[in-house]
Amino acid sequence: MARDPVYYADYLKLPTLLSLQSPESGKVGAPMGDEYLFIIVHQAYELWFKQVLIELDAVLDGFSGPAVAERELGRFVGHLERVVAITRLMLAQIDVLETMTALDFLDFRDLLVPASGFQSAQFRSIENKLGLDPRTRMTIHGAHYTSRLSPEDKARAEAAEAAPSIRARVDAWLARIPFLEQGGWGFRESYRAALDATLTREAEIIAENPMLDAIGRGVQEAQLAQNRAHFEALFDADAYEALRDKGERTLSHRAFLAALFINLYRDEPILHLPYRLLKALMDVDEGFTTWRYRHALMVSRMIGTRVGTGGTSGHEYLRATAEKHKVFSDLFALSTYMLPRSKLPRLPASVEGALGFRSGVSAG
């Protein structure tokens, strides 16, 4: 069928797009160039948030079924890596925003009250779709995070919170991975033996270290004992669930073990993409954490200790969210349980066969 030619400005709706910057300063005098910058940067954030949601929805849809084909994992990794690239752009936009000085910002800041980036329903939806634990979410003076949203935005954020998250669906996928037990071999028992040998060797190093005095040796021995107790929760499902109840773990016990297995044996062919997927989730989490922290530094640079326009404590609130609003902290915690490649237990031939694509066993 014949089609009318596509014109650049019409395709991008440029007349509409370029008319959407309406500085509040222009309503009380001449519009300020710095407020134009402020608006454009934040509008760009919202456009990137829209793209992030598109990528996350694709991953959510891909993990919604009872199984995930290995051939699909590369596509999901691609979606997540695109989100990582977007977070880098978001960080670069802070560099642009910081060309505006505190004096420049104060010229129009009071005109923005009570509007705040806290009211970004898209960003709240991103957090919820990733799987932010509601127990760790920051409040504003004790009020729920949706209390500052419009009814429409509140409904949108709550719908995203109520729906299955990427963390929940990745948890279910990890828990289905079949390689933890095969033919009488169990990963947990094999790994525990190797870990015990490693910890025993660490105790010998502490005891034999001539650079330690009695106090130093006692401190390190106490730390090692604490580590042993910490590792025990990995082998005791009830102790692990107690950690989950306290919010110290979010992944299920079997999912955590599967994630550990993937990280330890990432060199096996069938685990290449699962490892990249878990790494991409960490990269997404790190990207948003870094962006929150840079945002907090920028706010401190712009308003010092003043209260934010949305009524929060400004940079103190933002800095706290950088730490508390992590989603995949369990994946970061896996490094605690790593062993040198030379100390990894050798996998049985049957398991190596499955991991080398010599079996029809699905990885999830």
Residue 76 resides in a domain: yes
φ and ψ of 27, to 5 deg: -85, -15
Distance CA 96, CA 89 (A): 11
Task: Name the band, by pLDDT with cuts 50, 70 and 90, for residue 361.
Answer: very low
CA distances from 183 to 161, 226, 262, 290, 354 (A): 40, 34, 19, 44, 12
What pLDDT sits at residue 305? Answer: 62
The domain of 52 spans 24-179+251-331
Place of tokens 């042993």: 228
Residue 258 resides in a domain: yes
What pLDDT sits at residue 362? Answer: 47
Residue 237 resides in a domain: no
Q: How many CB atoms lie within 10 A of CB 51?
A: 12
pLDDT of 191 higher than 80: yes
Distance CA 256, CA 13 (A): 47
> Domain containing 126 — which CATH number?
1.20.58.480
pLDDT of 16 higher than 80: yes
Residue 353 resides in a domain: no
What pLDDT sits at residue 358? Answer: 47
Residue 277 resides in a domain: yes
pTM score: 0.89
Residue 34 resides in a domain: yes
Residue 14 resides in a domain: no
CB 160 within 8 A of CB 125: yes
Domain count for the chain, please give it.
1
Residue 72 resides in a domain: yes
